[in-house]
Structure 1
């Protein structure tokens, strides 16, 4: 299947057909590793295009929800099989659009395939419970009913996994979908939707409409026929979408920012802590909502940890993620690169000490890309902007503390509460961390980034709307409970 046969232009997918936008306008998607490389063009869609997609999804949902869970699950199995055959193609496209290394995008594509198969199996699991009734001649039980049409708004940092971990549960529980991907990675999302088309999903069950957030994203939030909205992105946009959905009574799910800490106790395995800190902070160029952003170290091991950290950071190779031997790619776009540079300057202005990076690497191969070195600051205090605000780049702040207790206080001293980790061999420290850390994901002796697909994922405080994605927890958002009372 191909989205378009000319000029590398990718269309919207509405009602089972690839169609151009009513605007006649397109948006260019470029490779952040080499801005001369145009990955493709996607539609700059209008509200009219969105209305058409929603109408198709609403119509298709009437029959889709009537299928058994097993029947819907078989479609997801088929999608997984198609995607598996196209793994290399999809991964390469994602690297060209977003910039992370090919090894990372291959892993992300494999994760997307596994998510599809997991939720395919979910179609055979229970959807309710029998509840004792006070009336001995009655039967009372619960079942679950789909929301209807779900709007899916996804970011550019995980262009494969995030769309799939939203779309797959939405579909298995009987909803239909209109997805608006980030324009920076909309070609990758179009290739994913192609897999659904090739797997034979009924027309209108999945639809993709590309375009600006102000038109299509806000249009999804405002649309009277969209019953639920699942969003991953920035706090500002997320809150705006939540407020719009709340006004009209639509269900919404927001996953937003993080300022994720790692605590390194004096008894930690420092080599393990360093490896995990680097992976958590600098993989995907730090562009993960769960990326390590603050490293809080007990003073007794601060100097030893810092020395090991700097030595390992020196070994990181930067460049085009499609090339062999590259460990870290560019920032995903010019705006994100500029944001990182802005926080470098903020750190210097606040009196923190730049001990590594903070500049564009030197060399001709970096001139046409959005590259920056891994960046490490020390002499950071918790009230500084670089310790409080999400940077979303390869950027960490080192904070020295005198105890694990103080480290926990510093770790919690932010508006976010997405993920956190501690490195320690002390069970008491582990238990204190588990009980006292205000985060939706806590990890012991492991990097802050990453959660297994069968486990609930979501944040506390300003990191989310307090709902959870992935695993069985997904059905709490994508369905409503219906209580049934039967009396003969």
Structure 2
């Protein structure tokens, strides 16, 4: 069944469907129809947000939080419908989609409860009969630009802290996944969110996103997407001293040492590389192995890759969904072909079957090969050599990106050393590079982040 998405502006659902999004697993089937906003649509949404901001900021924080809690209950009651739509527009497996909707529910509950915790600080004063206190105040209108790979979780973890902090919001979801964000907005409307507090504008990033960034009414902008676009947005927002939060690209590495159990390490790497079809900014895409474990690990990783069975996310037995679009599939295949040209071998996968790309393991890769340097954003992982721990750490850090990094070892001292010296915002030991608890700060370093404010948890409220 085809879902219809609409803009949400000033409490009204509006806009005629102009764009069609096809099911990535069944390209001939329309999954969602959505409007295409332009600069005038953004202007109306910003006007509504600006009109609503003073009354919303004056609303007690516990009352703002209560609406988020009620929205979580609404979303919970629609869990299966929302998860099914998510599968049909993005391509995840149903299990992954259910997990993502659950994440959005938990995010709403977490920040909803935070409404009772919004306090300032008290400081001693050097002046007699004087007390000093601080009071947190909202920035005003927040613009949010979100990607297609987590189409309900990322909008939730951006808009929930903005709303509970007293800001009004204009959200621009990814063009490929308009339905999921619409479901999230509909839950908030059903929970009683006042008109104009949350506005949603669908459309192209180069139009809607650019208009949001350029408008002086936007006092804070949170963006998840490519480094190239993020850095341009940073320049625009910084020029007018608006607050900006960026989560951008990654080329996440895992270092597997000789003392690691090769089978266990392969399960960890496979989960990080092939889960979610490898379409996560935190996905493992390069693995450095020391000599004593390299052969056994590679054999185990190839076996683990076979456990990921690509197919329609709603079909029984599917353990990995399709690539999100034909453009992304072409990018993935071009990366594999370029790796071959540079001397790599394909240990498994590497060839598409319609919109499906099997879990792909590349060997014979050198650190200066393109596939070891550039983000692929698909189920493709390269296995590379490292002489020892010291060289492995240096290779992990030798990247323009620094989002997540992983280590597989039984050595506690090396685990602590790696955590202290890996140049990444998130460091995992004996865990997949993907995934993070929602109550802790998330973000990267170098070209993976603006290195200003983190997302999730109290850090998101600080932003």
Superposed, which structure 2 residues align to 1:277-292 within 5 Å?
Answer: 277-292=269-284
1:409 to 394, 414, 426: 394
Q: How many residues align?
A: 462
Q: Distance in 2 between matches of 1:7 and 1:469?
A: 33
- Cα distance, 1:124 vs. partner? 1.1
Superposed, which structure 2 residues align to 1:82-101 within 5 Å?
Answer: 82-101=74-93
Change (3 A) 1:115 1:266: same
1:54 aligns with 2:54: no
Q: Distance in 2 between matches of 1:260 and 1:434?
A: 14
Q: Distance in 2 between matches of 1:144 and 1:95?
A: 39
1:152 to 144, 147, 150: 144
Aligned to 1:453: 438
Asked whether the 8 Å contact 1:299–1:400 carries over to 2, the reply is yes
Superposed, which structure 2 residues align to 1:74-223 within 5 Å?
Answer: 74-223=66-215
User: Which secondary structure does the structure 2 equivalent of 1:266 belong to?
Assistant: coil
Asked whether the 8 Å contact 2:2–2:30 carries over to 1, the reply is no
Superposed, which structure 2 residues align to 1:418-429 within 5 Å?
Answer: 418-429=403-414
1:236 aligns with 2:242: no
Q: Distance in 2 between matches of 1:110 and 1:117?
A: 11
2:460 to 463, 466, 474: 474
User: Which secondary structure does the structure 2 equivalent of 1:421 belong to?
Assistant: strand
Aligned to 1:440: 425
- Cα distance, 1:452 vs. partner? 0.3
Q: Distance in 2 between matches of 1:11 and 1:110?
A: 23
- Cα distance, 1:324 vs. partner? 1.1
Asked whether the 8 Å contact 2:4–2:179 carries over to 1, the reply is no
- Cα distance, 1:25 vs. partner? 6.3
User: Which secondary structure does the structure 2 equivalent of 1:143 belong to?
Assistant: coil
Aligned to 2:384: 399
Q: Distance in 2 between matches of 1:309 and 1:55?
A: 53
| Bigger shift: residues 265-274 or 319-328 | 265-274
Asked whether the 8 Å contact 1:382–1:413 carries over to 2, the reply is no
Aligned to 1:330: 322
User: Which secondary structure does the structure 2 equivalent of 1:178 belong to?
Assistant: strand
The TM-score normalised by the length of structure 1 is: 0.93
Q: Distance in 1 between matches of 2:204 and 2:102?
A: 29
Unpaired stretches in structure 1, ≥5 consecutive residues: 1-5, 362-366, 478-488
| Bigger shift: residues 372-381 or 325-334 | 372-381
- Cα distance, 1:8 vs. partner? 5.0
Asked whether the 8 Å contact 1:31–1:98 carries over to 2, the reply is yes
1:377 to 356, 359, 362: 362
Change (3 A) 1:126 1:8: closer
Aligned to 2:312: 320
Moved over 6 A (4+): none
Change (3 A) 1:401 1:41: same
When the two chains are superposed, the root-mean-square deviation of aligned CA atoms in Å is 1.3
| Bigger shift: residues 71-80 or 260-269 | 260-269
- Cα distance, 1:247 vs. partner? 1.9
Q: Distance in 1 between matches of 2:263 and 2:2?
A: 50
Aligned to 1:485: none
Unpaired stretches in structure 2, ≥5 consecutive residues: none
1:368-390 residue CA offsets vs partner (Å, 9 max, x unmatched): xx211211111111111111110
Q: With a CA cutoff of 8 Å and minimum separation of 6, indicate the structure with the bigger relative contact order.
A: 1
Superposed, which structure 2 residues align to 1:306-317 within 5 Å?
Answer: 306-317=298-309
1:183-233 residue CA offsets vs partner (Å, 9 max, x unmatched): 100122111111111111100011100011111000111011111100000
